[in-house]
Amino acid sequence: MESLELEVDQANQRFYEAFESLDIGKMNQIWAVDKPVKCVHPGWDLRSGWPAVRDSWVLIFNHTAGIRFDVTEVEIMINGELAWVTCVENVTTRVLQGEQTSNVLATNIFLRNGKKWLMVHHHGSSVLR
C-alpha cells in the first residue's frame, strides 16, 4: 500500500475504533468538526453539520451496550486532499438477549489536514443478502 493510502486506511480504522469505544470524545477526534460534515446511518435521514452529526452518535452510543466491527473489502481512492473509502462493516452488536450481526456497506470520505485525515462524510447502508 502507498504511504498516503496507509494514512487513509489508518484513519478509517480509527473511525471504527472510536465507534467501538462508544466514547463521543474519541469520535470527536475523528471528524473535521469545523467543516460542514455529513452523516447517514443505515435507514436514517442525513445529518448535516457537526452538532447534528454528534447528536446522532450520542444517541447511538446511549442505546448500544457493545459493538464490534470486522471491516472487510476496504477500497481507498485518493484525489488531492480528498480520500473516499468503501468497506463492508461486519457488525456484531451486544443486546439484552445475546448478539446480533449485520452487514453494512459504508462510504467514508476523509479530508487531509497536514498529516491527519479527518472524516467529513459517513454513509452507511444495510446490505440485504
* Binding test (CB under 8 A) with its own copies, winner from 2, 3, 25, 43: 43
Binding flag, residue 58, its own copies (CB under 8 A): no
Which DSSP string do the residues of 7-59 spell out, in sequence order?
A: HHHHHHHHHHHHHHHT-HHHHHHHB-TTS--EEE-TTPPPEESHHHHHHHHHH
> How many residues make up the chain in this entry?
129
Q: Whose CA is closest to 74, among 27, 6, 3?
A: 6
Instruction: Answer yes or no: are the C-beta atoms of 88 and 71 closer than 8 Å.
Output: yes
Binding flag, residue 80, its own copies (CB under 8 A): yes
* Binding test (CB under 8 A) with its own copies, winner from 55, 70, 73, 99: 73
Binding flag, residue 77, its own copies (CB under 8 A): yes
Q: Report the nearest approach of its own copies to the CB of residue 47 (Å).
A: 10
Binding flag, residue 53, its own copies (CB under 8 A): no
- DSSP 8-state symbol, 114: T
Contact set with its own copies (CB under 8 A)? 36, 38, 40, 42-46, 48, 73, 75, 77, 79-82, 84, 86, 88, 105, 107, 109, 111, 120-121, 123-129
